[in-house]
Chain A
Amino acid sequence: MYTLSSRLKLTAIIFMIVGAIGLVYAFIAAPDTIEDVKEMMAADAHHGSEEVAVVENDVHLANPEHSEDEHIIAEDHEGEEAHGETTHGDEAGHDNEHYEHLLHQLQNKPWAAVYIAAFFFFMIALGTMAFYAIQQAAQAGWSPVLFRVMEGITAYLLPGSIIMFVLLALSGFHFNHLFIWMDPEVVAHDEIIQNKTAYLNVPFLLIRAAIYIAGWNIFRYLLRRNSLRLDEATDDRLHKTNFKLAAGFLVFFLVSESMMSWDWIMSVDPHWFSTLFGWYVFASMIVSAVTVIALVTIYLKSRGFLEYVNDSHIHDLAKFMFGFSIFWTYLWFSQFMLIWYSNIPEEVTYFITRIDDYTLPFFGMVVMNFVFPVLLLMNSDYKRINLFVIMAGIIILCGHYMDIFVMIMPATVGESWFIGIPEISALLLFAGLFVFVVFSGLTKAPLLPKRNPFIKESKHFHY
C-alpha cells in the first residue's frame, strides 16, 4: 500500500498556492481599458514600438478594402469586430483599433494560459486511460504490474475534465474571448462562421462536452471498480467484463477524442480545418501519457513501492515513448507538409501566423518532441537507464506543453504571447493539482493487482 509522503503533498500544495497567487496577479494585471494598454506600452517603450509596428501591419491586412482572401489571411477577428464600429481611413480610429486589438489579446492571455495548462494535464489523464484500455484489450502480458499506476494517473480524469467543462462554460457565458465564434458580433460579420453555426454553437458544444466527459468517466469508474473487485473475486469473470469494457471504451474514445479535438482546440481557429487534427492531438496525448506513466513508475520504484517492476518494464515504456514520439512527428509533419506544399491561402494562414510569430516554439517543439527522444532513446541500453528515461521524459513533456501552446495561443493572443507569469503560474497550479490527485489516487489501493490472469507473467517479464 502506497502512502502519500508529506513532502510530496507539501510540494504539490505549494505549487498550487504559488500558481493560484500568480494567476490572480495575472488576471489583475491584465488591462481593462484601451488607456491601460497605452500606459503599458508607454512604460515598456522599447518593446512597445515594436509591438505597435506589428499590430499596424495586422490591421492593415484586415482592412476590408483589400480582397476577401487577405481578409481571411489576417484572421484578425478582433480587428474585424472593431471595424464595424470605427470609420475606415480615419487615422485616430485606426490608432484606437490597434489598441483595442491589443487589449483583447492581453485580456485573453491569462485565460489562454489557464486553458492550455488545464487541457495539458487533462489530456495526460485521458491518454493514460486510452493506454490502459489498450493494454487490457490487447491482453498485454508485461503491463499488469503497472495497472494500478495507470489507474492512479486516471484519477485526475474526473477533476481534469470537470475543469475543462467549467472553462468551456465560462467561455460560453462570455467571461473571456478565447473562442471568437461564441461572440455574436463576430459571427454577424463573418459568413464562414455563420455557415458553421449548426455545429459551432454554445449549447451544442456544452452538450457534446458533457457527453464525452460522462462517457470517459463512466468507463473509467467501471474499469477501476472491476479491477479492484477482481482482487477479492474467486473467478475471472470481472476480467472478461473489463476486457469488453476496455474494447468499448476504445471505440467510444476514438470518436469522442476526435470530436473533442475539433471542439476544444480546432475551433479556436474557426476559419481553419484539418482532417488529421484528431489524430495529431491523440498522438500528443498518448506520448505525454506514456511518459508520465514511466516517470511515476520510476518515482514509485525508487521509493521502493513497486517490487515486481524491473528495468524491462521501463524498457517497454521507453520504447512506447520513442515510438509515439516518432508517430507524433509523423502526424505533425504530414499536416504541415501537405498544407505547406499546396499553399492554399485559407489553410496556410494557420502555419504562416505560427511560423512568423511563434518561430522558436513552433520549430523548437519539433526538436524537443522528435530529435531529443530519437537520440536519447534509440539505444537499447539507454532505455533501461532511469536517468535517460527521466531526461527524455521531461523534454517530451515540455515539448508537448509547447505543442498545445502553439495550437491555442496564436488564435487567442496572437503576437502578444510570452511565457511569463500567467503561463508559468497556470502550469504550476495544474501541476500541483495533478500531482496531488494522482498520488492521492495511488494511495487508495494496493499497487499490485492480486488476481489478474496475466499478473504472474507480468511479474516475471523479462526482455
Chain B
Amino acid sequence: MASKVIHAIYTDDDLLLQAVKQVRDARYHIAEIYSPFPVHGLDKAMGLEPTRLAIASFLYGLVGMSVAILMMNFIMISDWPQDIGGKPSFSFLQNLPAFVPIIFELTVFFAAHLMVITFYMRSKLWPFKAAENPDVRTTDDHFLMEIDAANHSVEDLSKFLYDTGALEIKLIEN
C-alpha cells in the first residue's frame, strides 16, 4: 500500500517548536523532523525517549578497565614477573600504581570509541551512505516536518498545518 506523507516547511525554530506542540495536541503523527542545527527542547516537544548512549558508554568503560587489568596482570605478574628496576611484581596489588595510568587510559579509550561506534551504528551513519535528505534547504536554513497522512483527510491536515505557520506544504506519495 502506498504511503502518503505531508512535508511542511518552516523557516523559524520557535515556530517549529510551537507547531510540533500543536500537531501533537491534534493527535497527528510526526514521522520525522529535519533541521539544520540542534533545536533545544525539540526532542522533549516531540516526546522522544531519552538516549541510553551514556549507559552504554559506562559499560564500555568497565570493559576497557577489565581488559587493562587482565592484560597487565597476565603480562607483568603471571607470564613473566621480571624484576624491572626493583618494582615489586609479586602480585598485582603491589605493582598497581604503575598500572593505573594504563588502566585509566584504556577505560577512557574503550568508553569513548565504542560509544562513538555505537552512535554511528544506531543512527545508521557510515561513509558512502546515501543521504536521506528530502529537501536540500533543510541543511541550510529551513525546517521540515514530515507527518503521516495515511488515515487523515489531506485537505484538513494541510489546512491545519497552514494555520501552524508552515511556509510550504507538500503531499508526497510513494
Let me know if B127 is at the binding interface, CB within 8 A. no
Evaluate contact between B98 and A341: CB separation under 8 angstroms.
Answer: yes
Shortest CB-to-CB span from A371 to chain B, Å, is 13
Whether the pair B97, A337 counts as a contact (CB closer than 8 A) is yes
Q: Can you name 7 A-B pairs with beta carbons within 8 Å?
A: A333-B100, A336-B97, A337-B98, A337-B100, A340-B97, A341-B98, A380-B54
- In residues 223-248 of chain A, which contact B (Cβ within 8 Å)? none
Residue of A nearest to B58 (CB): A378
The docked-state distance in angstroms from the alpha carbon of A60 to that of B14 is 79
Residue among B86, B97, B100 with most chain A CB within 10 A: B97
**Cβ of A337: which chain B residues have Cβ within 8 Å of it?**
97-98, 100
Total number of A residues with any Cβ neighbor in B under 8 Å: 8
Additional 9 contacts, C-beta under 8 A, given A333-B97, A337-B97, A378-B58: A333-B100, A336-B97, A337-B98, A337-B100, A340-B97, A341-B97, A341-B98, A343-B86, A380-B54
The residues of A that contact B98 with a CB separation of less than 8 Å are: 337, 341
Expressed in whole angstroms, the Cα–Cα distance for A217 and B132 within the complex equals: 63
Main secondary structure of the interface of B (DSSP, over half): helix
Nearest A residue (CB) for B55: A379
B contact residues, total (Cβ < 8 Å): 6
Chain A residues packing against B (C-beta within 8 Å) = 333, 336-337, 340-341, 343, 378, 380
The closest CB in chain A to the CB of B54 belongs to A380
- In the bound complex, residues from chain B placing their C-beta under 8 Å from that of A333 are 97, 100
State the majority secondary structure of interface residues on A.
helix
Complex CA–CA separation, A193 to B97 (angstroms): 31
Contacting residues, chain A, for B54 (C-beta < 8 A): 380
In the assembled complex, the Cα of A340 lies from the Cα of B100 at a distance in Å of 13
Q: Which residues of B contact A343 (CB under 8 A)?
A: 86
Distance of B162 from chain A, by nearest CB (Å): 33
Chain B residues 37 to 70 lying within 8 A of chain A, measured CB to CB, are: 54, 58
Q: What is the distance, in angstroms, from A194's C-beta to the closest C-beta of chain B?
A: 32
B100 cross-chain contacts in A, Cβ below 8 A: 333, 337
A46 to B85, CA, bound (A): 42
Q: Which residues of A contact B97 (CB under 8 A)?
A: 333, 336-337, 340-341
Task: Please provide the chain B residues from 70 to 103 with a CB less than 8 Å away from any CB of chain A in the complex.
Answer: 86, 97-98, 100
* A380 CA to B98 CA, complexed, in Å: 32
A341, B96: Cα distance in complex, Å: 11
Distance in Å: Cβ of A334 to nearest Cβ of chain B: 10
- Chain B residues with Cβ below 8 Å from A340 are 97
Q: Which residue of A lies closest to B98 (CB)?
A: A341
B27 to chain A, nearest CB (A): 28
Task: Give chain B residues whose Cβ lies under 8 Å from the Cβ of A378.
Answer: 58
How many Å lie between the Cα of A341 and that of B97 in the bound state?
8
A36 to chain B, nearest CB (A): 41
A164 to B54: give the CA distance in the assembly, Å.
45
Q: Name A380's closest neighbour in chain B (CB-CB).
A: B54
Contacts of A336 in B (CB 8 A): 97
Least distance between A359 CB and chain B CB atoms (Å): 13
Shortest CB distance A213–B (Å) = 37
The CA-CA distance from A333 to B99 in the complex, in Å, is 12
Task: For A381, give the chain B residue with the smallest CB separation.
Answer: B50
Q: How far is the CA of A340 from the CA of B58 in the complex (A)?
A: 30
The 4 A-B residue pairs whose C-beta atoms are closest, nearest first, are: A337-B97, A340-B97, A341-B98, A333-B100
Expressed in whole angstroms, the Cα–Cα distance for A264 and B97 within the complex equals 29
Closest B residue to A338 by beta carbon equals: B97
Give the distance in Å from the alpha carbon of A246 to the alpha carbon of B100 in the complex: 38
A380 to B58, CA, bound (A): 13
Chain A neighbourhood of B86, CB < 8 A: 343
Nearest Cβ on chain B to A256's Cβ, whole angstroms: 32
Q: How far is the CA of A380 from the CA of B54 in the complex (A)?
A: 10
CB nearest to A337 among chain B residues = B97
